[in-house]
Homo-oligomer: A and B are copies of this chain.
Amino acid sequence: MQQDIAVIGIGLSRWGELWEQSLRDIFVESALHAIKDSGVDHIDSMYVGSMSPGLFNNQEHLAALLADYLGVGSIPSTRVESACASGGLAMKMACLDIMSGTSEIVLAGGVEKMTDVDTDGATLALASAADYAYEVYQGVTFPGLYAMIARMHMDKYGTTEQQLAEVAVKNHLHGSMNSMAQFPQKINVDAVLNSVVIADPLHILDCSPITDGAAAVILCSAEKARQLKLHPQIRISGLGHATDTMALHSREDITALSAVEKAGITALKMSGKKIDDIDLFEVHDCFTIAEICILEALGLFPKGKGGNAAASGKTRFDGPMPVNTSGGLKAKGHPVGATGIAQIVEIVTQLREQAGERQVKNARVGLTQNMGGSGGSCLVHILEAV
């Protein structure tokens, strides 16, 4: 990157069904944790990723509201939205703000309070990330869209329901070692295969949950970070952002996530790294099939060969290419706007060697991949301990 950016603070709110807390409460909780962790005495600006506080909470104008409740007064505060990639997008825009020379210390956060509406309301709010006129209006929502991708992957490459289930089993194993996870219980393949079918071939345990939660990080220029004398310094060395067609029917191959591929290539090139140089990954496993397609799009596995990734143990926290050590969206939870920032929080935790039981050995370089809709947008960040 033209100018390295450092991550100097991280924070999470509690995640789960938070009946006693509001949208603003949980955001402020995560932001205060991040500010305290960083030790800074002010921030120059802030960015908030949130997918649909309008449909979930009747509350737009979110960035100004959250700056007000965080008590940071009159600073510039910007909300960005790219469906479930809103958090990753907040991260990118915070980086651009620092790179442009406009701000020195910036908060990038994400939040979604999803339980203020009932399950039907949440399903429809989430569906607004698909093409409303051509997909949702016809009756399909996200489990249906990802089921089509899964069915195609199974037909083309021989991927099995057992292999999908192994992704959930692995991510719940990781979640069982993360005290912040919404669903920290271990599960096995039979539990997934015997759980209710949501959209054939996807069972409910192939799907990430509905979650209330927030995450925040504090960023600054590398020069500023050097003054703070933090060890280790965590730098963002690569950043990729790409889009794809909104609707699945416009794509030549619905199992190929071209926005993921492009964002990954851009981020790797910027950081001067190859995919094999990455020690651990947090990727967007909104459904088990998504993790498989993403690992193929990033180039970790050849096209069609991702099905066996989890089953082989390669992507376990103690395997050669750990994926979703946090528990992923599946077990940690998926408050959509917060997810992209929470991925950064996990990688920083690992690079600081503070991940406890799930610590990846010799973790020096991590990659986050955050995706909107059925792959219509994607953000990739590469972080390094220096």
Given A68-B245, A101-B2: A133 and B73 interface contact (C-beta under 8 Å): no
**Cα–Cα distance between A51 and B259 once the two chains are bound (Å):** 25
A29 touches B (CB below 8 Å): no
List the B side residues contacting A65 at CB < 8 Å.
Answer: 131, 246, 376
A160 touches B (CB below 8 Å): no
Interface of A is mostly: mixed
A372 touches B (CB below 8 Å): yes
Contact for A77 among B58, B64, B243, CB less than 8 A? B243
List the B side residues contacting A96 at CB < 8 Å.
Answer: 93, 96-97, 100, 102
Copy number of this protein in the oligomer? 2
A136 touches B (CB below 8 Å): yes
**Cα–Cα distance between A321 and B93 once the two chains are bound (Å):** 36
Stretch of A81-89, A345-353, A354-362 contacting B (4+ beta carbons < 8 Å):
A81-89
| CB of A203, distance to nearest CB on chain B (Å) | 26
Given A81-B81, A377-B61: A54 and B133 interface contact (C-beta under 8 Å): no
A145 touches B (CB below 8 Å): no
A130 touches B (CB below 8 Å): yes
A241 touches B (CB below 8 Å): yes
Interface size on A, residues (CB 8 A): 66
> Could you tell me if B82 and A258 are in contact, using CB atoms closer than 8 angstroms?
no
List the B side residues contacting A79 at CB < 8 Å.
Answer: 80-82
> Could you tell me if B60 and A51 are in contact, using CB atoms closer than 8 angstroms?
yes
Q: Which of A25-84 contact B (CB under 8 A)?
A: 51-55, 57-65, 67-69, 73-83
> Could you tell me if A67 and B243 are in contact, using CB atoms closer than 8 angstroms?
yes
| CB of A314, distance to nearest CB on chain B (Å) | 29
A301 touches B (CB below 8 Å): no
Contact for A74 among B58, B67, B130, B244, CB less than 8 A? B244
> Could you tell me if B63 and A377 are in contact, using CB atoms closer than 8 angstroms?
yes
Among A2, A79, A124, A262, the most chain B Cβ lie within 10 Å of the Cβ of A79
> Could you tell me if B101 and A102 are in contact, using CB atoms closer than 8 angstroms?
no
| CB of A269, distance to nearest CB on chain B (Å) | 13
Among A22, A243, A259, the most chain B Cβ lie within 10 Å of the Cβ of A243
> Could you tell me if A64 and B377 are in contact, using CB atoms closer than 8 angstroms?
yes
| CB of A356, distance to nearest CB on chain B (Å) | 36
**Cα–Cα distance between A63 and B51 once the two chains are bound (Å):** 12
> Could you tell me if A78 and B83 are in contact, using CB atoms closer than 8 angstroms?
no
A329 touches B (CB below 8 Å): no
| CB of A23, distance to nearest CB on chain B (Å) | 9
Interface string of A1-39 (1 = CB under 8 A from B): 010000000000000000000101000000000000000
Given A83-B64, A246-B61: A77 and B377 interface contact (C-beta under 8 Å): yes
A61-B377, A65-B246, A93-B93 given; 12 more Cβ-contact pairs under 8 Å:
A55-B55, A57-B132, A58-B124, A61-B130, A61-B246, A63-B377, A68-B246, A68-B250, A69-B246, A77-B377, A80-B80, A81-B81
Supply 21 A–B pairs (Cβ within 8 Å), ascending by A.
A24-B133, A54-B55, A54-B125, A55-B58, A58-B124, A59-B132, A60-B81, A61-B81, A61-B82, A61-B129, A61-B130, A61-B246, A61-B377, A64-B83, A64-B246, A65-B131, A67-B243, A68-B250, A68-B376, A95-B100, A97-B100
